[in-house]
Structure 1
Amino acid sequence: MKSATPLTAAELEDRMDRYLDPVLSSRRTAARPAADLAGFGAAEQGFVLHWGAVIAKDNAELAYQFTAFAPRAMGLMNLESVQSWLLYAMDLYDKKGQLPAIRAFQEVAAFAANQQEKLAGRALEDCAGVLERFVCGLNGRPLKIAAGDRHFTDTEQCLLPPVIGRFADPAANFRLYKAMVVHQWAQNWYGTWRGGVLLEAAATRGLTGAGLELFHALEQVRLDACIARDFPGLQRDMAALRHALDPGGEGRDPDWAAAVAGLADPAVGVADSLNLAARLHGRRPDTCCYRGALDPDAVRACLESRAALERDLFRIALARLVEDQDGRPPGAEQPEALTLPETAARLEAQRHADPDRPTGVRFELLLDGKPVAPPDDVRSVMESILQDHGEIPPEYLVAAGPGLYRRAAADTGRDPDAVWAGTYHEEGAFLYDEWDHERRHHRKGWCVLREHAVPPASLDCYHQTLAKYRGLIKSIRRTFEVLRGEERIARRQPHGEDVDIDALVDAYADCRAGLEQTDRLFTRRHRDERNIAVLFMVDMSGSTKGWINDAERESLILLAEALHTLGDRFAIYGFSGWTRKRCECYPVKRFAEPYDDSAKARICGIAPRDYTRMGAPIRHLTKLLREQDARTRLLITLSDGKPDDYDHQYRGVYGIEDTRAALFEARRDGIHPFCITIDEQGADYLPHMYGPANYAVIADVGKLPLKVSDIYRKLTS
């Protein structure tokens, strides 16, 4: 509201009725919320009316709950905090549905009580990705970071508080998160759960409650010593956190330090912590801000499910190694066999001393007495087995039979086109945020994107294109060969082959003005090595059916031939979609793949699909481009129109704003987006999405193949 005069209760009720009409009745009216809101100023009233109307577009019941509880919220918090409360509730609606969001609106007092901590603290959702990458870089099995009511690990995920606000500085709260993650990672890497020693003690000795807490405090001392040996910088940060948050911890029991000193010995393990816990029974352990808790039951369930899966994966990997060695699949005469016991005599896991590993040993696979190097994915499974068991169990060292092969194929060969329709439609997919311009907020994990293979087609299209554009291809190749060997002129150099006239004029003017004259007055020719990675994002929506699709294929063939000559790294991905649950990308040529007949056949296989939901594919392809080590990274879109989807909400302003936000995120990551479109109306929306100089409209689709290579040359020159 722009007016400075507050509305009356009757005026407020009239405006609320407009957006709440679907959920109002003779018993439920907007009279009470309007009366409550009438006591506030015009700014607060306008805030509630605006957001109520925005929320009503998604769900009228949620709009009513917000409108009803907003006056109470504004009595407890400022408008900025109230907005955080409503966005929190709407995120819950996006992720978990209506009932959790309604509870969030109704529990406004609890939210307000924690708001001070939330404002000063650090939210896990803002740093979970950074923490996952950090822990993956340490070593061992990756840990998924998730929010939980308790702080512990089940060996596959690390559960942390959703918000930490123990420090006034958000950076310090992040360091506390990092210390918590490091401690839980250390439990895996340094053997707290290895070999089932702790799980057996919990089951047979009744290690629970205070006893388990004492053991955990002792194990934390051992793990801290391990971290100090291998990562002294991390341990210094963790010690500083303890000094700040647990000032009485270290000195509460004067005998504690002496009692636990032996746990710093590199030779001790989890069994030593258990034995010391038995001797110190009844002692009160020191506090520790990053220690959290232990949950043996959760770990046991996780280990049991993982052990069966990894045992089968390892046996299948061994069967592949045997097949590579023998030149034929093992056990062909036993089609139903799950394992091949006769292969056990050929396989061995040999120990070698390795002081860099926490167990002091590493294992090498031998087949027929000779070392074999397993692929990276097999090695990761092997490392996970070692992390859980400390060795490769003898029963694992047997190759899988044809029966296990078939079962594994059935488990992993799920049809990607059918998965979306089931209960687990997000299984194996990428989840991406989507920008809601009315909320001015991202919908977290809103879009489900999956990569689908492009069926290869006949190379007839490729050969026909070469024949059709024979003369143009020769011209493009000559142009790009010159570009590859092009010498560039560096201006304003201290030494060079020629005088830089512009620099000389500027220097003369400086001299006449009494300023110091520069010595950078020359030009020098030099050969600039190209370091470019480009990803072509091709519109495969249904609207490209017919000659537009033909023009896209021809353009890509011409461009791929030129880039193959030039030597630039390039990838080609198609995109399409059908609502937020079926965003799709189609790898035509990945960066690591050669431009060979297979890639050419996939280009020929590009065909129209569904709609043009662009935000999620842009975020996905931006992620792929970020992984390329290149000085210049380009994301070039070939499209026939603006963002569109079967979902009517995405059409119009919503889709344009989401695409614009995704492109802004790409530019923030150092990626240069550019759009080539045949939509004659593109000038109406492309400057808003891409910027005034980052698009080209080609009105005649027949000229698309002629123009794309020229545009690329200009972009990269």
Structure 2
Amino acid sequence: MTAEHKTVRAMHPGETIRSAFPGDLYESWDDVCRRLAGAGYGNVVTDSYLRHSPELARLASPQAAIVLATIVSGLAIRAGRRAAAVAPVAAIVAAKRYNDAASLQEWLRLIEQVGDQAPESAGALLDQTASLTARLDVHALASWIRIGLRSNNGEPERRLRFFTLEDPNARRWLLRESGEVGFLDLEARLKPYLTALWGETPPMRETPANAPEQARRRPGFDGSVVRLPAAYPGFSGSDSEKLYRAAVAHIGAHLKFSHERFPVGGLKPAQIALVSLIEDARVEHLAMRELPGLARLFTPFHAAEPSGTATAPGLFARLARALADPGYDDPDPWVQKGRRAFFEAEADWASQQISRRIGDLLGNDLGQMRVQFDPKNYVVQPPYRDDNLGLWDFGDDDQQQSSEAEQVLSSARIREELDDSRPPDRTETEMGDAGGCVELIEQAQDGVLVARYPEYDYVAAREQPEWTSVKEYAPKAVASGPAARLVEEHADLVARVKALIRSARVSRAERLRRQPEGEFLDMDACIEAMVARRIGEAPDHRLHGRYERRSRDLSVLLLLDISQSTAEKVRGSTRTVLDVERQSAALLARAMAGLGDPFAIAAFCSDKRDDVRYVRIKDFNQTYDDLVDARLDGLESGLSTRIGAAMRHAGADLACERSYRRLLLVVTDGEPSDIDIEDRQYLVEDARKAVHHLNLFGIDTFCVGLDSNADSYLGRIFGQRNAITIAAVERLTDLLPKLYLTLSR
């Protein structure tokens, strides 16, 4: 036995250890201790196991403590000594949370699995044991770990970011598995809520994970972006939604009534906090004058009570309640003075300077009371109120300001992280769950990252938010290509197609009144006819009404697959599949342009989930001309076919069109695939989910498959009635316009 072994055994008297490992289990425990000590893992690993395994045996079972030794050994070999040393400590935490044998056994199995499959992340996962086990039961934890192992394509660095919770997807999946309601669940409802209350439309963001603790726990705004916490732990789903709504309403009140920023100057941290508190109360009272119902939203979250030690945070929370809740009575003279000063100045509430004056006054009194204020740990109360960053002006040089003042407004340090959003002139395209569009645009090396979309994982039966990145690439233009020569080569076909489509009627059904016959009675005409009869006049016999489509009202987006497989030659021809797609698109475009239908053309391919390439050939507001043909001719085949993300992005464009019908027409020559996906069914199910979401938002989808074996997956994705397979690719030029005619009726 090593000296280390003897030392630790001395720390645990024999009888104490034997009580944890009764009978033959003591010898088993002694044996695994000897093996750990002799394996050369180092004293820190052996010491950790020897110190903590008896406690684990008492909390759970001796068998679990002995099994832990094997896991510690495996971690030491694969994940390193640090992870192995942390494992016994984490096991005790898990045993206190998962107090049944089956749950702890599953936890041990999960740690062993991560050590085998993602050894670089084992230590990070063990470090998170306290927070994870507090929020997740063992089944939810298993699901979260499985997502982390599956979701990062075997890339150790990205897996590590997931298990350290630096990856936003890790935090979002954690929210979903824990059953908590978070910002992402409510984002689509909070934006229109703010607009409905105050007419404000600032972009909203989830607070970054690397923000200071105070900023992660409270909302904030900085004049251009509204930040909201990822979640409010400890609040139920219904209370969380009310809390988010209260936060949005409160920030909206600041945007409407806080017109200037207060200069920080030489103010002390306590004065900054108090001026902010008074300003919060001022804008809320002004807001409640216009919208009295907001009182029912704000007041329930003021929970401070007039008891306990008079600390600065406690007094601030009590003052906040005293200014918000008329029924609250607080005996503290300082709170009473603040309440009296605030309401005596009601006539001056329109001016922000009242907040500065009252805040300075109360701050001086607080200093004379010798009440200590710790700016490092101060968190605004109640929880819906913001961190007050948007209220203060640090001047031209932030470094000249007091470091303590910056601690009160610590979220100022995360402005850089938030400013990676769109340029100011870019507006958001929202489709809720259908689009999943994220407000992010940044320069990429070869394209422009315009949006991130969710992707559906059919194994976990959940969408992974912001999982795919769509980058828009500038189209190339090539003169005198196949599309440009279409009229010369197929003049008869162009004329025939125009004649076929000209008769199509696609529109909102208009109600025609005062008709001699029809589908319903025109009540106004009937009443006028009865009045005419009563006064002895001849009634008008046109008493009916009917519905008729009298004008075209259809928007179409043609989405072309330009993956590598489109470079193959069409059987018995010198043309490629892409050549056929070009000419078919040009023919259809000429027909639609002649009829005046709004339409757009785009192409796509992909290089893993981080580079879904989208090429705009023609936008809805662009006229059809020779440049469009040149762009079609400039398309090049390459890469893979991640169709779900491309359809979501195309659907976001279609969602902005105000037509009676909106149609996404997809032309593809192969099954969805990408080099980072081995499971063939994965992208098929994601595309199916994308089609379902688009349909929910009134966007019809139809697919033309240029693959004789496509029936199996196209029917699954689009539905049997919304997909057609063309075995002879060269027929696409003739069939695509006819298909359009059928769909547009």
Normalising by the smaller structure, the TM-score range is 0.5 to 0.7
Q: Which residue is 1:187 aligned to? A: 254
Q: Which residue is 1:131 aligned to? A: 190
Q: Which residue is 1:259 aligned to? A: 341
Deviations 1:327-353 (A, max 9, x none): xxxxxxxxxxxxxxxxxxxxxxxxxxx
Counterpart mapping for 1:166-315 below 5 A: 168=236, 170-191=237-258, 194=260, 196=261, 198-199=262-263, 202-204=264-266, 206-208=267-269, 210-229=270-289, 231=291, 234=294, 237-239=297-299, 242=302, 249=322, 250=325, 251=328, 252=330, 253-254=335-336, 256-261=338-343, 264-265=346-347, 268-281=350-363, 282=365, 288-295=382-389, 300=394
Q: Which residue is 2:599 aligned to? A: 570
Cα 1:589/1:20, change in 2 over 3 Å: farther
1:707 to 729, 732, 735: 735
CA contact (8 A) 2:75 2:81 kept: no
Cα 1:145/1:300, change in 2 over 3 Å: farther
How many aligned positions are there? Answer: 553
> How far is 1:584 from its partner?
1.1
Counterpart mapping for 1:38-53 below 5 A: none
Per the normalisation by structure 1, the TM-score is: 0.63
Deviations 1:118-140 (A, max 9, x none): 85642122223543455467456
Deviations 1:472-516 (A, max 9, x none): 2222212222113899999xxx994699xxxxxxxxxxxxxxxxx
* Aligned AA (1:273): S
Counterpart mapping for 1:417-566 below 5 A: 418=445, 428-458=449-479, 461-484=482-505, 496=517, 526-527=548-549, 529-545=551-567, 547-566=576-595
> How far is 1:587 from its partner?
0.9
Q: Which residue is 2:436 aligned to? A: none
Q: Which residue is 2:221 aligned to? A: 153
Cα 1:473/1:484, change in 2 over 3 Å: farther
1:695 to 711, 717, 723: 723
> How far is 1:663 from its partner?
2.2
**Cα distance in 1, alignment partners of residues 396 and 711 from structure 2:** 55
**Cα distance in 2, alignment partners of residues 495 and 303 from structure 1:** 79
**Cα distance in 1, alignment partners of residues 444 and 619 from structure 2:** 21
**Cα distance in 2, alignment partners of residues 444 and 543 from structure 1:** 29
Deviations 1:19-40 (A, max 9, x none): 99994899999x9999x99x98
CA contact (8 A) 1:551 1:705 kept: yes
CA contact (8 A) 1:541 1:576 kept: yes
CA contact (8 A) 2:141 2:177 kept: no
CA contact (8 A) 2:204 2:228 kept: no
Q: Which residue is 1:388 aligned to? A: none
CA contact (8 A) 1:89 1:104 kept: no
* Aligned AA (2:206): A
Deviations 1:284-342 (A, max 9, x none): 9995442233348996489989xxxxxxxxxxxxxxxxxxxxxxxxxxxxxxxxxxxxx
Q: Which residue is 1:667 aligned to? A: 695
SS at match of 1:483: coil
CA contact (8 A) 1:572 1:589 kept: yes
Tell me the percent identity. Answer: 21
Counterpart mapping for 1:625-664 below 5 A: 625-647=654-676, 649=677, 652-664=680-692
> How far is 1:442 from its partner?
2.9
> How far is 1:703 from its partner?
0.3
Counterpart mapping for 1:15-54 below 5 A: 23=78
* Aligned AA (2:257): Y
Cα 1:40/1:657, change in 2 over 3 Å: farther
Q: Which residue is 1:81 aligned to? A: 140
Q: Which residue is 2:60 aligned to? A: none
**Cα distance in 1, alignment partners of residues 583 and 176 from structure 2:** 58
Deviations 1:626-651 (A, max 9, x none): 2222332221111110112233x256
* Aligned AA (1:184): I
Cα 1:523/1:167, change in 2 over 3 Å: same
**Cα distance in 1, alignment partners of residues 509 and 249 from structure 2:** 50
**Cα distance in 2, alignment partners of residues 76 and 288 from structure 1:** 23
Q: Which residue is 2:158 aligned to? A: 97
Cα 1:571/1:99, change in 2 over 3 Å: same
Q: Which residue is 1:4 aligned to? A: none
**Cα distance in 1, alignment partners of residues 304 and 556 from structure 2:** 48
CA contact (8 A) 1:120 1:167 kept: no
Q: Which runs of 5+ in 1 are unaligned?
A: 1-7, 106-110, 306-376, 382-413, 421-426, 500-521
Structure 1 residue 585 corresponds to structure 2 residue 614: yes
Segment drifting more, 694-703 vs 91-100: 91-100
Segment drifting more, 691-700 vs 652-661: 652-661
SS at match of 1:164: coil
* Aligned AA (2:565): S
CA contact (8 A) 1:487 1:525 kept: no
Cα 1:175/1:442, change in 2 over 3 Å: same
Q: Which residue is 2:407 aligned to? A: none
Segment drifting more, 215-224 vs 146-155: 146-155
SS at match of 2:620: coil
**Cα distance in 2, alignment partners of residues 215 and 28 from structure 1:** 47
> How far is 1:143 from its partner?
3.7
* Aligned AA (2:554): I
Q: Which residue is 2:12 aligned to? A: none
> How far is 1:599 from its partner?
2.9
> How far is 1:161 from its partner?
2.9
Q: Which runs of 5+ in 2 are unaligned?
A: 1-62, 208-214, 306-316, 374-379, 400-422, 428-440, 521-543, 568-574
**Structure having the higher Rg:** 2
